[in-house]
Structure 1
């Protein structure tokens, strides 16, 4: 997981995976079948370990605004933590690449879209609970805050400090609907 996270899908060779896992090539292929399957399992592991910041934030917060702000801030902290590569593996691992890797890009795009859908669901819950105005455009808000989240990942990979990411979140929260 960390190898794909640090180097991206295309930047990671089978030899890199052999070195990272300590498993020889034949065993790696017999266990996973191909590099794409190894990557898909790495993404599932990433979602379980690193995706908690989003799911916990959206589920635990009292208000919808708090859920969104906490989601952005907790991910921003995770993106600059010393324990792993900077940024989000789902955002950064394969935005561009060779035509033969289009399935990997589609897999990650679907993953990002499901995150946006989860955010939209939390926004809809906010409308139902009365803490978000019924006139709010939920699709627009979900797309906007997902884009901010993904942008935080890119900023972190480019070396942005936690303080800079916090100022971005501060600015993003100014767009929260008030009435």
Structure 2
């Protein structure tokens, strides 16, 4: 017959799942997917390995939940900006400015988890890299779609390359993330945004105005 002491010893450790998940987010955000070990996670989350596996599954399953939680708490601003602003230009400028703010926010890791978590990853974790890559490409498709809508509406020149422009924005966002991880401050990144937006195509019909000679 099991004693009271045996029963207590066999009980799963109770913990706040939401708090533990938030600590897992920080661990993966700071160190990346592959560099974060189970022991790193259990130490950060304050739980034992059996509790981690019971509550979250294996490391990959936990990471998938971490990415979803990251998106809920810190991400999603690019999609929102592009969807809510009336033109692609305004949506992109808002997204870039929010990136400069979000990626340097005090009290949490710098940069973007979706961009940095799968850097220098081994072939064994290729599915993780592919999943994050698809998330980034989804943002680029949304930007390209907004650009095409502006071309159709006459807001941008008919010869605007929507995919190339979206790729350009993606490169700027990834650069902002890396610069933030390297210690760049928000004001410096906002200056980058100002320069980046100068490359945006002029609105259709504005070229002649911009290039017009002043009246004598």
The normalised TM-score by structure 1 is 0.93
1:59 matched residue in structure 2: 83
CA contact (8 A) 1:9 1:93 kept: yes
Shift of 1:67: 0.8
Q: Provide the aligned length of Structure 1 versus Structure 2.
A: 179
**What do you get for the CA RMSD once the two structures are aligned?**
1.4
CA contact (8 A) 2:32 2:119 kept: no
CA contact (8 A) 1:90 1:108 kept: yes
CA contact (8 A) 2:88 2:143 kept: no
CA contact (8 A) 2:87 2:146 kept: no
- Distance 1:130-1:50 versus aligned 2 partners, 3 A rule: farther
Unaligned 5+ runs, structure 2: 1-24, 205-216
In 2, the alpha carbon distance for the partners of 1:132 and 1:84 equals 38
Cα deviation 1:86-134 (Å, max 9, x = unaligned): 1000111112122211111111111111111121122223223332223
Is 1:169–2:193 an aligned residue pair? yes
In 2, the alpha carbon distance for the partners of 1:37 and 1:103 equals 12
Identify the structure with the greater helix proportion.
1
Partner residue of 1:8 out of 15, 26, 32: 32
**Greater RCO (CA < 8 Å, at least 6 residues apart):** 1
Give the 3-state SS of the residue equivalent to 1:86 in structure 2. Answer: coil
Unaligned 5+ runs, structure 1: none
Is 1:97–2:137 an aligned residue pair? no
The normalised TM-score by structure 2 is 0.78
Is 1:133–2:157 an aligned residue pair? yes
